[in-house]
């Protein structure tokens, strides 16, 4: 099925062409084409000129793809998720478990990043004081072990 030349609407929202979608998501056109070729964007249609026309449903799919990518999920796993979505309710448990696992991974990553921020904040203050003093000699006398900062 192809859509007409114009930008029809889907659920009251204007459809977008690939360049507009690329700009919106700060992705390259080839990246979006790759997602389409991999079957990650369900029900993506082309207009009479052969251009991909993105509906609100397609935009939602891209948003979840980008979210999953940002979480560190591999394309093959995103593809599996999109397959589960297309299979319907019989895969609800699999999808939920995937998100539970992914959320736990992200929480651990955020905890590690927070520890890193504690160290960076400490070092900014440490070297700020050293610069102010013109030497590291005095700040070294009150320096804390990094393990204490991480756990602190």
What's the confidence (pLDDT) of residue 114?
94
What's the confidence (pLDDT) of residue 12?
56
Phi and psi (nearest 5°) for 9? -110, 150
Tokens of 151: 């756990």
| Structure confidence by residue, pLDDT tens digits, 13-43 | 689 999 999 999 999 999 999 999 999 999 9
pLDDT at residue 7 tops 60: no
- Residues of the chain with pLDDT > 70: what percent? 91
Whole-number average pLDDT of the chain: 90
DSSP letter (8 states) at residue 14 = E
What's the confidence (pLDDT) of residue 150?
87
């Amino acid at each position: 099925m192809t859509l007409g030349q114009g930008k029809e609407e889907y659920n009251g929202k204007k459809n977008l062409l690939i360049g507009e979608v690329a700009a919106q998501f700060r992705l390259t056109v080839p990246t979006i084409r790759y997602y389409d070729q991999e079957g990650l964007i369900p029900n993506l249609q082309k207009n009479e000129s052969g251009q991909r026309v993105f509906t609100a449903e397609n935009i939602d799919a891209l948003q979840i793809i980008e979210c999953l990518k940002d979480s560190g999920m591999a394309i093959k796993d995103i593809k599996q998720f999109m397959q589960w979505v297309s299979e319907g309710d019989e895969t609800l448990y699999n999808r939920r478990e995937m998100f539970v696992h992914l959320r736990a991974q992200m929480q651990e990553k955020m905890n590690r990043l927070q520890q890193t921020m504690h160290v960076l904040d400490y070092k900014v203050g440490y070297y700020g004081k050293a610069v102010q003093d013109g030497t590291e000699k005095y700040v070294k006398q009150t320096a804390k072990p990094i393990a204490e900062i991480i756990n602190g």
